[in-house]
Amino acid sequence: MLKRRNLVALIAGTFLVASSAMAQFADRNIKFTNGVNEDHPVGVGVKKMQEVLAAKTGGKMKITAFWGGAAGGDLPATQALRAGTQEMVCTSSSPLVGIIKELGVFDLPFLFANEKEADAVLDGAAGKYFNAKLEAAGLVNLAYWENGFRNLTNSKRPVTKLEDFDGVKVRVMQNNIFLDTFKTLGTNAVPMAFGEVFTALETKTIDGQENPFVTIETSKFNEVQKFLSVTRHAYTPFLVLYSKKLWDQLNPQEQAVLREAAMEGQKVQRAANRALNEKSLASLKTKGMQVNEVSAAEQNRIRAKVASVYDKHKDSIGADAIKVVQDELKKSRGG
């Protein structure tokens, strides 16, 4: 009888502890917007966040996601966060440069050699440096997710060495750093809206373009491009941002569970993004694209060539931001 009483007391105590823990969470339906579609790896990350919140808060804290820019573009959504009229957005760093100039460092060419280096920088001291800048601008970054590396396609020749860039007419994003990078490499760089690119390639108005493997495949650029060179010339992170004004209204337990959910989401989102990029690369090969890697020695030659782009944009980005990233890179490279 005594054992049974102890067991009942133990169960009751456990229930009270669990109930007390759940009481720390208010009923919240968090609006989460982003510009990609649900079948993008960001969708995998969001699903994981939803699962973590359901398990840890007894279903009290929920995320409702709006896909494909259905609730507005990344920049307007980010401004809504700063104003405290919306909770969350997942956006790449590029649209935020007008708010936090230091994020322009991620537009610099040939910054990271691989995903391992990018992870080391973003998950280390450099990531914390940018988080502080974001917080000062009214944005809390819960985790760095991945948009990924951009690579070059064209219809003229394989780009295996520095000299191969010469004279190739390449569409670039309407971004001064990208424009300067490709001009410095010797290409005829043409800023153009993304929606115009396929037709411009098809009509030979331009020779090439640059994007991640997944975008190259889903945009069917393989139909109008023969050569794919694995240049990894730019790496863009995604940021999972929360409104600072609304964040400050959450209690510490709610804040902690959101951070945990975003970090769990990071693991599966990065893994999904990398797996999908490998799948797209393999698919592009089977669809007839001629794929070539750029050797480490040539990467170093290309890096030396574009060093002037770093100098030119040092003041507009901020020398401190560039230094903090380069310092972390040196550590990750063992130097």
pLDDT tens across the length of the chain (335 residues): 545 666 555 555 554 444 555 669 999 999 999 888 888 899 999 999 999 999 999 999 999 999 888 877 888 999 999 999 999 999 999 889 999 999 999 999 999 989 999 999 999 999 999 999 999 999 999 999 999 999 999 999 999 999 999 999 999 988 899 999 999 999 999 999 888 999 999 999 999 999 999 989 989 999 999 999 999 999 999 999 999 999 999 999 999 999 999 999 999 999 999 999 999 999 999 999 999 999 989 999 999 999 999 999 999 999 999 999 999 999 999 86
Q: How open is the CA angle 91-285-217, to the nearest 5 degrees?
A: 30
Domains parsed from the chain with CATH numbers: 2-332 (3.40.190.170)
Please name the residues in contact with 19: beta carbons below 8 A apart, sequence gap of 6 or more.
none
Look up residue 156 and give its DSSP letter: S
pLDDT of residue 5: 65
User: Residue 121: what residue type?
Assistant: V
Phi, psi of 265, rounded to the nearest 5 degrees: -60, -35
pLDDT of residue 8: 55
pLDDT of residue 72: 75
Instruction: Give the CA radius of gyration of the chain.
Output: 23
| Euclidean distance between CA atoms 305 and 283, whole angstroms | 32
User: Residue 34: what residue type?
Assistant: N
Judge if pTM exceeds 0.85.
yes
Question: Any bridge partners for residue 170, and if so which?
Answer: 189, 208
- Helix 319-332 and helix 115-122: axis angle, to 10°? 120
pLDDT of residue 119: 97
pLDDT of residue 16: 43
Tokens of 165: 């860039």
- Helix 319-332 and helix 307-317: axis angle, to 10°? 130
| Euclidean distance between CA atoms 272 and 115, whole angstroms | 13
Tokens of 36: 């990609």
| Euclidean distance between CA atoms 205 and 255, whole angstroms | 51
Phi, psi of 170, rounded to the nearest 5 degrees: -115, 130
Q: Which of 234, 221, 78, 224 is nearest to 151 (CA)?
A: 234
Pure H helices in the chain = 2-23, 41-57, 74-83, 115-122, 125-136, 176-184, 197-202, 213-218, 244-247, 252-286, 296-305, 307-317, 319-332
SS3 231: strand
Largest CA distance in the chain: 89
pLDDT of residue 18: 46
